A and B are shown apart, each in its own frame.
Chain A
Amino acid sequence: MIGNLDYSTLQQIWWIIASLVGSLFLFLTFVQGGQTLLFTVPRDAEEKALIINSLGRKWELTFTTLVLFGGALFAAFPKFYATSFGGAYWVWMLILFTFIVQAVSYEYRKKPGNFLGATTYEAFLFINGSVGILLIGAAVGTFFTGSSFSLNDYNQVTWQTPYRGLEAARNFFNLSLGLFLVFNARVLGAMYLINNVEHAALADRCRKSAWKSFLWSLPFLLYVVANLLFMKGYALNPATGEIFLQNAKYLQNLLGNPVTLLLLLVGLILVIYGVALTCFKNKNNGIWFSGIGTVLVGLAVFFLAGFNDTAFYPSSFDPQSSLTIYNASSSHYTLTAMTYVALSVPFVLAYIAYVWKQMDSKKLSLAELSSEDAEEMY
């Protein structure tokens, strides 16, 4: 059946798959959000150890999802991979540096002889959770605001600013999206800890922190949503392949695609419901509502950018160089082969869910940190 799918259907399927991986990553940034709580929420070393050990059992999932997001984009939309990574060099490099330092920090922080001292590794985690997520948000923002590049006849990219992508952070829309993601990650991080850790006082402080971060996220969320509804967007004329600026493009996309509208609304309601459960009902399962809500909102954002004849990586310098899911994708053959491979994704998700359930059936407690396996702990 997959072998019979036409090219544009496959291109759309791969945009959905890439969007799903990207949105799952946004949910899993609860790890990054949790990392930014390290310097404020715990009162002593034991509480800090609880947070680190709780997050430390999940950080690799987030990391791997980011790597898969990159791999999926490379495989399905290589022109985006080439244009954005090769063009917006500095923004991606900085993001990667924050993930490089994260990867060693859990393992090395408490190990004797760690050379840099525990505080440095905690600072690395904080930088990853704040700067890393902020820049990812700003980079996603350029899916709407555009970047300054041009492509030649051989699809080679020339970036028009010396800042190499960092200029994205000077745009208030991009910055707002980044800051929203940082605060949303903090909300999710606090909720995850409430769900995963057995410590009443710490959970109380996490509830307060979740509420505070949620309030901080609101103005940025409102700014992003309001702008999305009214901003001009880069539209594709499917007959000619021409890209042109269209008024309220994303509002039209939203109204023209009820699924996206539904995803956005249900997603936002779930995020708010999760926060309300956590902060006002003292429930521990808010993470699941807000987490799933984040995935749905993420999907809506990526769908707004890519579907309904829209350029998902527009060039503000030369609109005709803009990338759409149709001109940036791999060949029909490769997308078909990759779709067969993607059939295994539900299996992968299933074993991740199974292991997660096995490992989290019992909450992490201070007793476990000082048990016979204490040496293994972060």
Chain B
Amino acid sequence: MVEHIDLSQVNWARAQFALTAMYHWVFVPLTLGLSFLVAFFESIYVRTANEEWKRITKFWMTLFGINFAIGVATGIIMEFEFGTNWSNYSWMVGDIFGAPLAVEGIFAFFLEATFFAVMFFGWNRVSKGFHLFSTWMVAIGSNLSALWILVANGWMQYPVGMRFNPDTARFEMQNFWEVLFSPVAISKFTHATSSGFLLASLFVLGISSWYLLQERHQVMARRSIIVASVFGLLSSAYVAFTGDEAAYSVAQRQPMKLAAMEGLYDGRTSAPLIAAGLINAAKEPGDKQAPFAVELKIPGLLSLLANREAGSFVPGVNDLVFGNKEHNIIGAEERIEKGKIAVELLRTYKEARKAGDKDIANAALKAFGDYQDNLGYGYLNKPAEAVPPVGITFYAFHIMVITGTIFPLVFLFFLYFQAKGTLSYQSWLLSLGILCIPLGYIGQQAGWVLAEVGRQPWAIQGLLPVTVANSNLTTGTVQTTFFIFLALFTLLMIAEISIMLKQIKIGPEEN
């Protein structure tokens, strides 16, 4: 199927996708959460008819708008990049993957685009009630956008509801509902959106903390802190719950990713959870080196979290690469061998069909049926290629979890001191509130690095490696667009941060 694989081109394409996705995800989580916070503020305004709440709404709405614009700018490329840089992927799974993307456009993007104008320019053009409705529609539309793209991403992590069609050489959808309600898709959606709510709460909390430290706009800051802390605390609980679901789902469906997340090479029963550690970068699958230079273990916890059963067996990298007969695990080594046979049979079938030789074609097709589950592995050259970068996956996972653990405590402190009426005097806490903004962004990025690096080398888990998924381009072409994106997005982000800081400095309009 692949005559020539240009690895450096593939890697530049991966780098470009990572770059554009990471930039996009700087802005999206804030949109997801801030849209709801603005809707909460406006709902309170409409209920109380208190102009102060309108002022609060408008201030956060201004920051929402600045962030939203660059989210849209960085988002358009994500859709088209599947075609430009991953054209084989687009053909091979477009039959399944294209549908959620189109549904996203119809159901979600138009909600956002249509009601956004009302939200910003409709204060005096539509009724109060319709304006509030529009603000809610923007919030719902933004989050629905996330639903569909995460359904698509969930499908890439755990492909269900389809079959391979050897005639068209692509995967074709068999069951739309299975794709939509895949457990991975659901946990991806709930975890990603609730983490967005969390980030937006930190954003509001941090900026309000700065106002309190500056002794400016104190009424607005305190009110914002109350709403953001409650929303943030609830979101944190939900993030933890959905995070546990997502990790369980990874353990059951992407065991290699779980092994990399925990730096687990030799599978075992009653596996410990590594709370923190320093990875041994020289470690390779199958060698005798220790996986960690330093580690802090919690005995037995990984088995409990991964399988919801204390003492259960959790496979490690080595089991998944070389196989483990005792636990009925077929390793990548064996699957590659079978995969190579599948690739060869597919080629024989295509050639025989072209030549009109029905007997050979039918025989090849029949035999292909026995091996096709391993087709994706047939494009790997050695078993170690089935292992994602362990260091990046491990650190990303731990950074995400550690930052996510700090935030609910911060919200609790804010609520406690706010209730006591001494929040303004807790400069340590207010400073921590500001620090939580960058920490929140780091946690967000770490989450997606984990999700995407951890499933390498697969574009579609177990079926399509990135080396087969990409477009037939030259390295120089992709390098050029990589650097254009880097320059352009960096420039636009500098502008965005500069505008954002200026608006925060100006603050809400004073009556």
Contact = CB atoms under 8 A, between A and B. Distances in A.
A79 B91 contact: yes
Given A74-B90, A92-B80, A155-B168, A334 B114 contact: no
Interface in A189-220: none
B382 to A, nearest CB: 23
A7 B310 CA distance: 52
Interface in B273-323: none
Cβ-closest 5 pairs across A and B: A86-B87, A78-B94, A85-B83, A113-B502, A75-B98
B495 interface: yes
B91 A352 contact: no
A159 B471 CA distance: 10
B330 interface: no
B472 A86 contact: yes
A67 B83 contact: no
Contacts of A58: 117
B488 interface: yes
Contacts of B99: 75, 330, 334, 337-338, 341
A334 B101 contact: no
A159 B69 contact: no
Interface of A: 53, 57-58, 60-61, 63-64, 66-68, 70-72, 74-76, 78-79, 81-87, 89-90, 92-93, 96-97, 99-104, 106-108, 111-116, 153-159, 164, 330-331, 333-334, 337-338, 341-342, 344-345, 348, 351-352, 355, 358-359, 361-362, 368, 371, 373, 375-377
B95 A330 contact: yes
B127 to A, nearest CB: 9
Interface of B: 1, 58, 62, 65-66, 68-70, 72-74, 76-77, 79-80, 82-88, 90-91, 94-99, 101-107, 109-110, 112-118, 120-126, 130, 134, 165, 168-170, 172-174, 176, 350, 354, 471-473, 477, 481, 484, 488, 491-492, 494-496, 498-499, 501-503, 506, 509
B109 A68 contact: yes
B114 A61 contact: yes
28 contacts: A60-B117, A64-B109, A64-B112, A67-B79, A67-B105, A75-B98, A75-B102, A81-B98, A82-B88, A83-B91, A85-B83, A86-B471, A89-B477, A104-B70, A108-B496, A111-B66, A111-B499, A113-B498, A154-B350, A156-B472, A157-B472, A158-B472, A334-B95, A334-B96, A348-B106, A358-B130, A359-B125, A376-B121
Contacts of A112: 499, 502-503, 506
B350 A153 contact: yes
A104 B94 CA distance: 30
Contacts of A377: 121
A362 B125 contact: yes
Contacts of B70: 103-104
B69 A57 contact: no
A68 B114 CA distance: 14
Contacts of A67: 76, 79, 105, 109
- The DSSP consensus for interface residues of chain A is helix
Given A96-B77, A114-B498, A375 B509 contact: yes
A75 B94 contact: yes
Given A93-B84, A97-B488, A99-B76, A344 B106 contact: yes
A164 B85 CA distance: 13
Given A74-B98, A116-B491, A86 B126 contact: no
Contacts of B91: 78-79, 81-83, 155-156
Nearest to A344: B106
Contact of B83 (A53, A57, A86, A102): A86
Contact of A78 (B1, B90, B118, B498): B90
A280 B79 CA distance: 44
Contact of B496 (A60, A101, A104, A341): A104
Nearest to B148: A71
Contacts of A53: 121
Contact of B113 (A63, A102, A376): A63
A112 B503 CA distance: 8
Contact of A82 (B87, B114, B496): B87
Contact of A333 (B58, B79, B130, B173): B173
Given A75-B94, A104-B69, A334-B99, A70 B109 contact: no
A111 B502 contact: yes
Contacts of B126: 358-359
A341 B151 CA distance: 16
Nearest to B499: A111
Nearest to B473: A89
B102 A74 contact: yes
A373 B73 contact: no
A70 B95 contact: no
A152 B39 CA distance: 52
B101 A71 contact: yes
Contacts of B96: 334
A85 B73 contact: no
Given A63-B113, A68-B106, A97-B484, 16 more contacts: A60-B113, A72-B105, A75-B98, A78-B91, A81-B91, A85-B83, A93-B481, A107-B69, A108-B499, A112-B502, A113-B499, A115-B499, A341-B99, A348-B110, A375-B58, A377-B121
A67 B70 CA distance: 16
Nearest to A68: B105
A362 B134 CA distance: 19
A362 B125 CA distance: 8
Contacts of A86: 83-88, 90, 471-473
A351 to B, nearest CB: 7
Contacts of B65: 107
Contact of A81 (B73, B83, B114, B116): B83
A85 B350 contact: no
A99 B79 CA distance: 13
Contact of B98 (A153, A330, A342): A330
B504 to A, nearest CB: 10
Residue of B94, B125, B176, B503 contacting most chain A CB atoms (<10 Å): B94
Nearest to B104: A71
A371 B124 CA distance: 10
A82 B94 contact: yes
Given A83-B87, A334-B99, A355-B115, A70 B94 contact: no
Contacts of A89: 84, 471, 473, 477, 481
A347 to B, nearest CB: 10
